[in-house]
Amino acid sequence: MFKAKKTAPKSRIIVANWKMNPVDLKEAKKTFAVIKRVNLAKIKDKIVICPPSVYLSELSLKYSGSKIVFGAQDVSTEINPESTGEVSAQILKNLKVQYVIVGHSERRRLGEPEEAIAQKIKMALSAGMKVILCVGEKTRDVNGEYLRFIERQLREDLGALNKKFFSQIIIAYEPIWTIGSGKTSVDGHDLHQMNLFIKKVLVAIFGRKSGLEVPILYGGSVDDENAKQLIEFGEVSGLLIGRASLNPYVFLKILKAIN
């Protein structure tokens, strides 16, 4: 297995993916108001809140700071403004959105192909935003086919990019069988192995120095009980949290546990 030099991540990235929740803006503001109370002086992490895009103008424009920032859950492939229903990278950028989640498995399962994902990455990067690219296998097999699957996703999504963009890329490894399952099923050792494998592919794509600098996060049933262990044993640079981020008190507990 590829051996990466151990370098402590500069600052970790904790992403709250609210998905299609909550159902009204008032609730979204209430959730954020609790998160905002976090003692930022004690937090080493960058916190990226990704609410439904319709709430971004209320939240991101008003509350983007240096440690708490906002992300979108998707971005359009289109540049042509005659694109009904789409939200462009530039619109998001103008709302002070700094991150975009691309290639989440819940979008891939709607039929989003790899070419569209690669195009979305380009759009977000050229608007000056950072991309959180989600990759992950549906199942594991003893022959290691799942590793080849993840390598293919990374190469197809990032392979054609200008190498200078490496510093705007973040990878979220999210094994699909863990998302929303309520049980992590990835132990620290497995996660660490996967972390090294992804690093190896990123080095092949971006070159050694740049490839090793790309942060790798873990997502899939993270909660206040497993977060610390995942970070420590998996040696990941952060977490992507779905359901547990919707309860702001649990989310704060996670931040506390890993700090």
Is residue 103 involved in binding ligand PGA (CB under 6 A)? no
Q: For residues 132 and 50, what is the distance between their CA atoms, to the nearest angstrom?
A: 11
Cα separation, 166 vs 197, whole angstroms: 17
Q: CB neighbours of 2 closer than 8 A, spacing ≥ 6?
A: 196, 197, 199, 200, 203
Clarify whether 174 is annotated catalytic: yes
Q: How far is the CB of 172 from ligand PGA (least distance, A)?
A: 7
Question: If binding is defined by CB under 6 A, does position 234 make contact with ligand PGA?
Answer: no
- Furthest CA-CA distance within the chain: 50
CB 89 within 8 A of CB 100: yes
Q: Out of 112, 137, 174, 235, pick the active-site residue.
A: 174
The residues with which 166 forms a beta bridge, in sequence order, are none
For ligand PGA, what does the binding mask look like between residues 147 and 176, x meaning CB under 6 A? ---------------------------x--
Q: Where are the beta strands (DSSP E) in the chain?
A: 13-17, 46-50, 68-72, 99-102, 130-135, 169-173, 216-219, 238-241
Q: Which stretch binds ligand PGA (CB under 6 A): 56-64, 80-88, 121-129, 239-247?
A: 239-247
189 is catalytic: no
Pattern 3-42, ligand PGA, x by CB under 6 A = --------------x-------------------------
Q: Cite the active site residues.
A: 104, 174
Residues binding ligand PGA (CB under 6 A): 17, 174, 179-180, 219-222, 240-244
